[in-house]
């Protein structure tokens, strides 16, 4: 008899977990429960660039592990004919600053990582003196999430449009529940440590820009995507406002035009505000609750901050291992 698994949440964390569970554990039925699907998830608004970011105090060894596994997954995908459909490609980046930039712990994972000489940086970006250069992957979620969903359904995965208010309402229906609800975990599992990390982005038409540049000093980024260029900066912890701030947009535009003056000729595609699921550390662990005369077996996989894309496949694999343990399979 097939064992029934429910994955709550259809962002990049939820779909990656659902796909991994379905493909790696034999004789299971997997159902994704969510009230928001692409293109309406928080993941859809993300740039999708592989780089550990806003992961708070998540232990470095976990960031290394999850990030490395995800990087290798995107690397393998990028070498296939599916990469264009999935929205996965390589993208080179500069981090620039007026102050020295120390080497990142993930330097050995990405391609072509190097400290850039001051002369080279100042020739390209006169307001900066220091920088690093590297090549990583971009996974554009407005393509990547539908690709994951198709992969999930092709393997027999089920989808139910449902808002889950309390995990206990699922008692007796599933053998294991996987909680990938991001910020909703604040109310779903009473996790008061969850806080929004507000991000406001402006997407513009500027096809002449080919490099991702993050200005550390100004705290703003310009990220070329397939159909537009994303400019952003905000990481406001505790701010629940999902309406674009016109004053912030002016400040952002000014800062990014310092990096690329040609942006003054770009036209706005659209604006978006998203709330990243902030937490002191990513929560990835199993839990067993007793509800009356039954047991509720849960795997939590949420609180990735700004590193959901960067960690998603590594976290999904660890989630699958925990589900297998709860099912009695090592």
268 CB-near residues (< 8 Å, 6+ apart): 202, 203, 204, 205
- Rounded Cα distance, 6 and 20, in Å: 13
CA-based nearest residue to 240, from 202, 289, 183: 183
Q: Please report the pLDDT score of residue 91 as a whole number.
A: 98
Q: Please report the pLDDT score of residue 155 as a whole number.
A: 95
- Rounded Cα distance, 62 and 286, in Å: 16
Residue 211 burial class via C-beta count within 10 angstroms: exposed 0-12, middle 13-18, buried 19 and up: middle
Q: Please report the pLDDT score of residue 56 as a whole number.
A: 87
Q: Residue 229: left if φ>0, alpha if ψ -120 to 50, beta else—which one?
A: beta
203-219: per-residue pLDDT in tens?
999 999 999 999 998 88
Q: What is the 8-class DSSP label of residue 83?
A: H
Place of tokens 């208010």: 165
Q: What is the pLDDT along the chain (330 residues), one digit of tens a residue?
A: 789 999 999 999 999 999 999 999 999 999 999 999 999 999 999 999 999 988 889 999 999 999 999 999 999 999 999 999 999 999 999 999 999 999 999 999 999 999 999 999 999 999 999 999 999 999 999 999 999 999 999 999 999 999 999 999 999 999 999 999 999 999 999 999 999 999 999 999 999 999 999 999 888 999 999 999 999 977 789 999 999 999 988 989 999 999 999 999 999 999 999 999 999 999 999 999 998 888 999 999 999 999 999 999 999 999 999 999 999 954
* Alpha helices in the chain, H assignment, sequence order: 12-24, 42-45, 60-78, 83-86, 118-124, 141-154, 185-188, 246-259, 308-326
Q: What domains can be seen in the chain, in order of their start residue?
A: 3-326 (3.40.50.720)
Q: Please report the pLDDT score of residue 54 as a whole number.
A: 81
Q: What pTM was computed for the model?
A: 0.96
118-174: per-residue pLDDT in tens?
999 999 999 999 999 999 999 999 999 999 999 999 999 999 999 999 999 999 999
Q: Please report the pLDDT score of residue 330 as a whole number.
A: 46
């Amino acid at each position: 008899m097939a064992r029934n698994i429910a994955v709550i949440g259809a962002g990049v964390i939820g779909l990656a977990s659902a796909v991994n569970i379905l493909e790696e554990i034999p004789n299971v039925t997997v159902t994704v429960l969510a009230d928001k699907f692409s293109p309406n998830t928080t993941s859809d608004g993300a740039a999708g660039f592989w780089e550990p970011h806003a992961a708070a105090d998540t232990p470095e060894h976990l960031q290394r592990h999850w990030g490395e596994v995800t990087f290798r997954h995107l690397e393998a995908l990028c070498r296939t004919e599916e990469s264009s459909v999935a929205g996965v490609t390589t993208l080179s980046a500069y981090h620039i600053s007026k102050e020295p930039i120390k080497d990142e712990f993930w330097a050995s994972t990405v391609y072509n990582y190097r400290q850039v000489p001051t002369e080279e940086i100042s020739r390209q970006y006169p307001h900066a003196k220091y920088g690093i250069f590297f090549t990583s992957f971009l996974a554009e979620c407005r393509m990547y999430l539908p690709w994951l969903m198709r992969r999930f359904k092709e393997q027999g995965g089920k989808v139910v449009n449902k808002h889950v208010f309390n995990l206990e309402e699922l008692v007796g229906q599933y053998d294991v529940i996987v909680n990938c609800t991001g910020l909703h975990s604040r109310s779903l599992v009473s996790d008061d440590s969850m806080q929004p990390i507000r991000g406001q982005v402006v997407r513009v038409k500027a096809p002449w820009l080919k490099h991702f540049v993050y200005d550390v000093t100004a705290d703003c980024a310009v990220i070329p995507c397939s159909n537009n260029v994303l400019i952003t900066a905000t990481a406001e912890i505790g701010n629940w406002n999902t309406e674009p701030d016109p004053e912030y947009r002016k400040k952002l535009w000014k800062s990014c035009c310092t990096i690329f003056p040609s942006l003054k000729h770009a036209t706005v595609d659209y604006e978006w505000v998203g709330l990243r699921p902030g937490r002191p550390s990513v929560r990835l662990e199993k839990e067993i609750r007793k509800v009356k005369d039954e047991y509720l077996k849960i795997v939590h996989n949420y609180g990735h901050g700004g590193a959901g894309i960067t960690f998603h496949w590594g976290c999904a694999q660890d989630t699958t291992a925990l589900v297998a343990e709860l099912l009695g399979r090592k």
